[in-house]
Homo-oligomer: A and B are copies of this chain.
Amino acid sequence: MSYRIDNLQYCNWSENIFRINNKAKLDAVHVTIAYHEDFDEVQNNINQWQVYFNDFKDLIFHGKTYKDIEKAHKENKTAIFFGFQNCSPIEDNISLVETVHNMGTVFMQLTYNNQSLLATGCYEENDSGVTRMGKEVIKEMNRVGIIIDMSHSAEKSTLDAMQISEKPIVVTHANPSFWHEVKRNKSEILLKELSQSKGMIGLSLYPHHLLNGSNCSLESFCEMVAKTAEIMGTECIGIGSDLCLGQPDTVVEWMRNGTWTKNRDYGEGSADNAAFPRQPEWFKDATGFNNLEDGLVNVGFNKEEVDGILGNNWFNFYKENIF
């Protein structure tokens, strides 16, 4: 059995995008339903997803456990798993961890770029690691079954989270910094620790995480995957494309600025390059998984390894941890 899973998308959702994901044979997509939203706002987002699930029931449904990936595969649909790129929806209330899990959330980042109540984001100058509340929330996430995602967190915080968590943690969408050194990408030390703790990384196709950005070649990306596999092994590597299809540039501005500053922050971009970056030609949308398949074969991965990277590794992680 081979599954295809994209473990991070934040598209401007529409029938068209669900059809593209279906055409790409994605059995599961982990979708972001919160960047800066508080609890009430995330409920509104979930309400909107109920509308999508109802309107496009031939294409998608709400995924809650690994069994929904099997179901989606059988029915040629895509199981949609909810996740937060920030801890803002639990506000300052540890009880909301269980509540958001009951609402169907299976991934939560402890931080989004900035310092949160739980840990330090990768854009902060100093990283004090997982906080007092963070330690408590990690235990609670372990208890209720929400996976800790450190994609946008700083290094010490991420290493702390691995130590504190009794379950494997993940980086749903980032690349190794040996290939492209930016704040969002991850060090070799971190990758090694992640694989030793049975965690996962979803490699990102977002141009700011790619060597040469929008002009990154498929070959360069796949060579990076091969080198990452040398460091981590193949089994803990998946894809988290970070596709933001159809989003207007006002959305990336909101992602970067939320309501935390009155100045303009450009995040991974810059004043003269503030927009959403153009996707590489070979990964304009999820059908790019087919190009990845070819590219990974070309750098020497065997079929089982390619299937692992394109979905089975994430499936196995879900089977172990989301049930």
Contacts and interface: CB of A to CB of B under 8 A. Distances in A.
Contacts of A123: 132
Give the number of copies in the complex: 2
A94 B114 CA distance: 14
A124 interface: yes
Contacts of A219: none
Nearest to A97: B262
A136 interface: yes
A224 to B, nearest CB: 29
A131 B114 contact: yes
A116 interface: yes
A127 interface: yes
A136 B259 contact: no
A126 interface: yes
B117 A115 contact: yes
Interface in A62-115: 88, 91-95, 114-115
Given A115-B117, A117-B116, A94 B131 contact: no
Interface residues of A, number: 32
B260 A136 contact: yes
B128 A127 contact: yes
A152 interface: no
Interface centre among A128, A133, A134, A262 (most CB of B within 10 A): A128
Nearest to A96: B259
Nearest to A143: B262
A114 to B, nearest CB: 5
A125 B123 CA distance: 21
B114 A259 contact: no
A132 B117 contact: no
B128 A124 contact: yes
Given A140-B262, A261-B136, A262-B140, A115 B92 contact: no
Contact of A92 (B36, B128, B133, B134): B36
A36 B36 CA distance: 20
A129 interface: yes
Contacts of A117: 114-117, 260
A128 B115 contact: yes
A16 interface: no
Contacts of A260: 92-94, 117, 132-133, 136
Contacts of A185: none
A116 B133 CA distance: 10
Contact of A128 (B91, B126, B133, B259): B126
Contacts of A120: 128
A128 B160 CA distance: 15
A36 B260 CA distance: 19
A134 to B, nearest CB: 8
The 8 closest A-B pairs by CB, nearest first: A128-B128, A126-B128, A115-B131, A93-B259, A133-B260, A136-B261, A114-B132, A126-B129
Interface of A: 36, 38, 88, 91-95, 114-117, 120, 123-129, 131-134, 136, 140, 258-263
